[in-house]
Amino acid sequence: MSNSKSLLALMVSAAVALIVVSNFCIIYMLHRSASTAAELAGSIWPIALPTTVAIVLVMSILHQSLVDVLSRLERKEREASQLARHDPLTGLANKRLLDERIEAAIGSKSRSSDGFAVLMIDLDHFKRVNDLLGHQKGDEVLKVAASRLESLVRAGDTVARFGGDEFLILARISKPQEVPRLCNRIVAEMQRPYTIGDREASLPASIGAVSAANGFARAEEYVRAADVALYAAKADGRNCFRMFTDDLDASIKRRSTLELDLGHCLATGDRICIHYQPQIDVTGSVVGVECLFRWTHPEFGAIPAIEAINVAEETRQIDGLGDFVLREAARFAKEHPLLSVAVNVSPAQFGSRSGLLRRFLKILKDAGVDPHQIELEVTEQLFMRQNDRCEEQISELREAGFRLALDDFGTGYSSLSYLRRFKVDRLKLDRSFSCEGQAGDRIAILRAAVTLAHAIGLEVVAEGIETLDQEAIALEAGCDILQGNRYAAAMDHGSFENFLDARNRKVA
């Protein structure tokens, strides 16, 4: 508007200047041939008038064309700015606009008591819609999700899409309680099924939220914090929201660091090793070991085995970890041909494409060890997967000569039907059997479990024996093998050799 006004003023001034100059030239050219002023005036008008009209006409045409060009340019500029700040699919704000608005909200918060929250929303399993029904249907779902989100926020709030199925909201809030309320409303709304063609699909949402109370100075810090909280919401089973906290931040940083570093450790063997925990028979002789994975991280120190296994399972590095453990176990077995060597195998190592048997046999062949010397410890979780392939794999492993043990019996369902369906050689009774409850009850329960195991031909290992009392109970109940800190905690290779020497000297 102001552009076209100044253009008009410019054109009028240019026209006036042209008229003045042209008339001046006309007067100058005619004044010599005219003898009187009246004659001069009479001869000027026929030329000056059409010239003036022509100048006005040309200038107004020129003005109109310039106005057209200018407005076209302005429209293009507006469109470019809209495109640069909006998501073309949903019309929502994009990252750039949301960042600008968060920065503005941070600025206004420092000047007043305004509060705000940033929410990151992810549609659970959206990828399946794309994979199963195609990207066009996926786009339709995203548009519906976008309009649902817009309907839940107040005027002045910003709903943005960062690409994929990742949405963000910048919401003005006046009380901290408003954040969980908004998150709950979103979770409830997003649970409503979507109609996709002739199907209905549910795509609940996970939300990570962070409020201005965290006092970050930059938009990207709020977005990262919301992302951290979203990760926690997904880890907590999805279809829920989590608020960002500093503790959460630390635990997620730890997790991401471990996820990144494990691959390198498995590839190089740096900072990972196996510790060996002895297994003792009723005469007190060491008859075997359980191999346990150990990882010492440069920043976090000793990582609990369970955590390391979880990281490996989630990042699909469990096969690499399992192979590393078996290779170490096989080396150990070769040095101690009279000991039974147990390794834990995660349910994630089983499955249709794992090639578990082939890889395990190759590792043992390379080490020159017979599978009979190796015991694979599996847990009930594997049996609960209802997967025929797992059942087959267990049979194949046993047929190849591996012995199988059911670990942690007593912590899950302790189902007898699993024991009938999946053939194993040993039952490892969890430490809760020998250390929880009254002594009399413990013996009775333990004895019942042992009798049952013996009746179906299984050997019984009592795990986690720490005290003389627990040892007495386990022996009284008829357990065949004992394992626990009473004899020795898991230890490195060198310490195990010393332990074995000392023990053998004692027996001799």
Q: Which residues bind ligand C2E (CB under 6 A)?
A: 277, 292-293, 304-306, 309, 325, 344-346, 377, 407-408, 431, 464-466, 484-485, 490
Closest distance to Mg ion from the beta carbon of 380 (Å): 11
> Considering CB distances under 5 to 8 angstroms, the limit depending on partner class, which of ligand C2E, Mg ion, none binds residue 296?
none
DSSP 8-state secondary structure symbol assigned to residue 193: P
Contacts of residue 34, Cβ cutoff 8 Å, sequence gap at least 6:
40, 43
List of residues contacting Mg ion (CB under 5 A) = 344, 377, 407-408, 463
Closest distance to Mg ion from the beta carbon of 464 (Å): 8
The DSSP bridge partners found for residue 462 are: 429, 482
Q: What is the DSSP string of 178-223?
A: HHHHHHHHHHHHHTSPEEETTEEE---EEEEEEEGGG--SSHHHHH
Smaller CB separation from Mg ion, 261 or 408: 408
> Considering CB distances under 5 to 8 angstroms, the limit depending on partner class, which of ligand C2E, Mg ion, none binds residue 241?
none
Q: What is the DSSP string of 117-137?
A: EEEEEEETTHHHHHHHH-HHH
Smaller CB separation from ligand C2E, 99 or 407: 407
DSSP 8-state secondary structure symbol assigned to residue 371: G
Distance CA 205, CA 183 (A): 10
Contacts of residue 341, Cβ cutoff 8 Å, sequence gap at least 6:
288, 289, 291, 329, 330, 332, 333, 373, 374, 375
Closest distance to ligand C2E from the beta carbon of 356 (Å): 12
User: What Cα–Cα distance (Å) separates residue 483 from each residue in 163, 198, 220, 260, 428?
Assistant: 53, 59, 52, 34, 10
Closest distance to Mg ion from the beta carbon of 495 (Å): 19
> Considering CB distances under 5 to 8 angstroms, the limit depending on partner class, which of ligand C2E, Mg ion, none binds residue 166?
none
Taking the CA atoms of 298, 301, 306 and 307 in sequence, report the sign of the dihedral they define. Answer: negative
> Considering CB distances under 5 to 8 angstroms, the limit depending on partner class, which of ligand C2E, Mg ion, none binds residue 473?
none
Smaller CB separation from ligand C2E, 244 or 487: 487
> Considering CB distances under 5 to 8 angstroms, the limit depending on partner class, which of Mg ion, ligand C2E, none binds residue 373?
none
Distance CA 87, CA 445 (A): 64
Decide: 405 and 377 in contact? Cβ < 8 Å. Answer: yes
Decide: 286 and 503 in contact? Cβ < 8 Å. Answer: yes
> Considering CB distances under 5 to 8 angstroms, the limit depending on partner class, which of Mg ion, ligand C2E, none binds residue 305?
ligand C2E
Closest distance to ligand C2E from the beta carbon of 277 (Å): 6
Q: What is the dihedral of CA 149, 154, 160, 165, to 10 degrees?
A: -20
Smaller CB separation from ligand C2E, 257 or 432: 432
DSSP 8-state secondary structure symbol assigned to residue 467: S
* SS3 (DSSP) at 4: helix
Read off the amino acid at residue 44: I
The DSSP bridge partners found for residue 201 are: 194
Read off the amino acid at residue 324: F
459-488 burial, b for 16+ CB within 10 Å, e for fewer? bbbbbbbeeeebbebbeebbbbbbbbebbb
Smaller CB separation from ligand C2E, 159 or 292: 292
Closest distance to ligand C2E from the beta carbon of 171 (Å): 43
Helix H or strand E segment including 247: helix 246-268
Smaller CB separation from ligand C2E, 110 or 485: 485
Closest distance to ligand C2E from the beta carbon of 149 (Å): 41
Closest distance to ligand C2E from the beta carbon of 260 (Å): 20
> Considering CB distances under 5 to 8 angstroms, the limit depending on partner class, which of ligand C2E, Mg ion, none binds residue 485?
ligand C2E
Distance CA 507, CA 142 (A): 72
Smaller CB separation from ligand C2E, 174 or 296: 296
Element counts in the chain: helices (H) and strands (E):
18, 16
> Considering CB distances under 5 to 8 angstroms, the limit depending on partner class, which of ligand C2E, Mg ion, none binds residue 155?
none
> Considering CB distances under 5 to 8 angstroms, the limit depending on partner class, which of ligand C2E, Mg ion, none binds residue 215?
none
Smaller CB separation from ligand C2E, 73 or 282: 282
Report the greatest alpha carbon distance in the chain.
150
Closest distance to Mg ion from the beta carbon of 342 (Å): 7
> Considering CB distances under 5 to 8 angstroms, the limit depending on partner class, which of Mg ion, ligand C2E, none binds residue 484?
ligand C2E
Closest distance to ligand C2E from the beta carbon of 79 (Å): 57
339: left (phi over 0), alpha (psi -120 to 50) or beta: beta
Smaller CB separation from ligand C2E, 165 or 407: 407
Closest distance to Mg ion from the beta carbon of 273 (Å): 17
Smaller CB separation from ligand C2E, 211 or 434: 434
Smaller CB separation from Mg ion, 172 or 275: 275
> Considering CB distances under 5 to 8 angstroms, the limit depending on partner class, which of Mg ion, ligand C2E, none binds residue 122?
none
